[in-house]
Amino acid sequence: MASIATRKGDDGTTSLLYGQRVPKDHPQIEAVGAFDAVNVALGAARLANTDATVVALLLGIQQNLVALMGEVACAEADVGRYLESKLARITAADVQRLDDALAELESRKLPFDGWATPGANSRSLAFEQARVAARNAERRLSALPAHGRQVRPEVRQFTNRLSDLLWLLARAAES
């Protein structure tokens, strides 16, 4: 079995999806790292929950994030190759799934009075930590076009809905 330590990054570079070497602080690598943090935070939120519907929703979102990170890790010149591949990607149906979950939570008329103060309980805190990570990732994603890497609308929409959903899940966990 090959070692995970390739030593290729010892010079401060890493690879994008199809092998192009970039600095480790490249905007796409920063974005992928931010989404990786979201994925980890969602794992913690999933572990803090016992509601099977919420757990399934979070697991599905984590799977979406793996696809999203793959797409974001693709150089602009390789986007066509990526879109023609069999690799998973965020779709309008994925965005709709988040919209449906948002609508269901909003229909509950969850109580909140002013700005939420995280820490009411461990479940809500896990969602708040994931929400903060998601907003950070969204900012990193939003910076990519200024660096020559366009982002598909579905990816931006998914990312934006995700943090809203996590905010509502935190409110639900408090009630």
Structural domains of the chain, ranges and CATH numbers in brackets:
24-174 (1.20.1200.10)
Residues 6 or more apart whose CB falls under 8 angstroms from that of 161 comprise 95, 98, 99, 102
Model confidence band, residue 142 (pLDDT cutoffs 50, 70, 90): very high
What tens digit of pLDDT does each residue of 41-84 get? 999 999 999 999 999 999 999 999 999 999 999 999 999 999 99
Q: What is the mean pLDDT of the chain?
A: 94
What does the alpha-carbon distance between residue 138 and residue 133 come to, in Å, rounded to a whole number?
9
pTM above 0.85, yes or no: yes
Stretch (H or E) spanning 23: strand 21-23
pLDDT of residue 170: 95
Report the alpha-carbon distance of residue 37 to residue 11 in Å, rounded: 24
- For the cut 70, the answer to whether the pLDDT of residue 114 exceeds it is no
